[in-house]
A = this chain, B = another copy of it.
Amino acid sequence: MRVTIRDVAREAGVSISTVSRVLNDTCFVEEAKRRRVKDAAERLSYSAHPAARSLLKQETGGVGVIVPSVSGEYFSEFLTGIDHFTQESGFYMLISSSHRSTAEFETALNTMYRRVDGLIIMAPDQGGFDATHRVLRSMPVVYVNRPFESSLSDSIGFNNFEGFYNITSHLVDMGHRRIAMITGPATAIDAQERLRGYRQALRDGGIEPESSLEVVGNFTRQSGYQAVSTILGSRKRPTAIAAANDLSAMGAISALHEAGVRIPDQMAITGFDDDPSARYSTPPLSTVRVRPREMGRLAIQYLVGRIRKVADAEGRKIELPFEIVLRASSLGSRREGASRTS
């Protein structure tokens, strides 16, 4: 049933070493034998057992990806970026997601141990995992969206603070004085940064942040939807909402429609991420474009570079540019594409 290199060797009438050499094209082998081996391998549809090979070569051909979630456009896009390059370069992809606790996160890390040659970690909500974990030291790691000081690993991300500062400033520039925010989960570092950007933008616009206008969300549509009732019920109704991400902005938009609030006339709204759907919402959503797909591509490129040892030993820390994308949801008239880059 199971066909091994021995079977091929017997079939071709050569030793297993020769089979290995032919199949891996590692030495010159007499043409006649070469043919016989190829034929035999083909006939038996042989391929080397990955476990045996990786046991010996101490490499697997896989990369591990750790993300908070596999659902939501932001993550999908990120994964898509990784996936493309992964296939091109012949690596396979091992994904682990949704770790509610640090313990679960470290379990995931352990699962990756020796099963992959490198790791991409996006874990904005894992505050305190052990940065010296043995798995982390055993292979190259690229951190995404999680500034991390280590000369052994690369780190790529964008400036959440600045991005959110800019989109909030846009609302201020449009003349809004009462601007609510639908925040992300307090545990996530990127959510914290965005909140900080929001507050700073208000202050710089001469507006004192009010905690009653900071409605807690968790990056989901539903939380955005629910936040709206709080916002509409507030003592002095704001005229604009800055949502911590596009998903929650969409939820909010839906709720605003249901409440009969016109966008952007009665309520302007902005998001963050520029999910593919942002352009198709009603009205199209002003947001901050951060190109998760690009991030994914970059992350895997760096990682593969490190795995193949072509990268600098020095850890790189890349900050990707973002782009403010203004659409109808925050503009008086319906126009599209005005943009400002970081």
| A contacts, CB < 8 Å to B | 45, 47, 49-52, 54-55, 60, 62, 69-73, 75-77, 79-80, 83-84, 87, 92-98, 104, 110-111, 113-115, 134, 221, 225, 250-251, 253-254, 257, 276-277, 279-284
The 7 closest A-B pairs by CB, nearest first: A282-B282, A254-B280, A51-B55, A71-B76, A51-B51, A51-B54, A71-B80
* Residues in B whose Cβ lies below 8 Å from that of A73: 71, 73, 76
Interface of chain A, main secondary structure: helix
Closest B residue, CB atoms, query A220: B276
Known: A51-B51, A221-B276, A254-B282. A70 touches B76 (CB 8 A): yes
Partner of A114, one of B49, B79, B114: B49
Known: A250-B277, A257-B282, A277-B250. A92 touches B111 (CB 8 A): yes
Query: Could you name 24 residue pairs across A and B whose Cβ atoms are closer than 8 Å?
Result: A47-B113, A50-B51, A50-B114, A50-B115, A51-B51, A51-B52, A51-B60, A70-B79, A70-B83, A71-B73, A71-B76, A73-B73, A73-B76, A76-B76, A80-B98, A83-B95, A83-B97, A87-B96, A92-B115, A93-B96, A221-B280, A254-B280, A254-B284, A281-B281
Contact A80 B69 (CB under 8 A): yes
Rounded to whole angstroms, the CA-CA distance of A84 and B104 in the bound complex is 12
Closest B residue, CB atoms, query A77: B71
* Residues in B whose Cβ lies below 8 Å from that of A83: 70, 95, 97-98
